[in-house]
């Protein structure tokens, strides 16, 4: 089974520039997440999609971050304009329901963003 795909793996931009990240979840997974992981911290949820609808975007800085999942499959996360504090790894994840009734999250390899 193919895993969660993300691109690019690395991106270096200057502050105030724009950047976009792409994610393709595991085939058939309806729920997709974007996380931000700053060095030394755990992943922080930015947005959760169920198919093409947003379930939770309460921690998404909407003045500069946007995300879409138009066809309910792959997703794009955009930052415009970027700030120095946006330097982080952006992780995409999707979930599988396990027999015990709990959900296992599978993460993509992440996109490491450096804002100069």
Partner 1 sequence: RKEVEQDPGPFNVPEGATVAFNCTYSNSASQSFFWYRQDCRKEPKLLMSVYSSGNEDGRFTAQLNRASQYISLLIRDSKLSDSATYLCVVNGADSSYKLIFGSGTRLLVRP
Q: Which of 19, 24, 43, 67 binds partner 1 (CB under 8 A)?
A: 43
Q: Which of 1, 27, 28, 42 binds partner 1 (CB under 8 A)?
A: 42
d(CA 54, CA 46): 11
Give the residue carrying structure tokens 């955009």. Answer: 78
Q: Does 44 bind partner 1 (CB under 8 A)?
A: yes
Q: Does 45 bind partner 1 (CB under 8 A)?
A: yes
d(CA 54, CA 77): 13
d(CA 115, CA 86): 7
Per CB under 8 A, residues contacting partner 1 are 31, 40-45, 48, 50, 55-56, 91, 95, 98, 100, 102-105, 107-110
């Amino acid at each position: 089974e193919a895993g969660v795909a993300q691109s690019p793996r690395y991106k270096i931009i200057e502050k105030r520039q724009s950047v976009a990240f792409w994610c393709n979840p595991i085939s058939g997974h309806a729920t997709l997440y974007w996380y931000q992981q700053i060095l030394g911290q755990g992943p922080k949820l930015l947005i959760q999609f169920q198919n093409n609808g947003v379930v939770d975007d309460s921690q998404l800085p909407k003045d500069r971050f946007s995300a879409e999942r138009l066809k309910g499959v792959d997703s794009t996360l955009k930052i415009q304009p970027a700030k120095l504090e946006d330097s982080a790894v952006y992780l995409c994840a999707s979930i599988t329901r396990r027999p015990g009734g709990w959900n296992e999250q599978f993460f993509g390899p992440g996109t490491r963003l450096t804002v100069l």
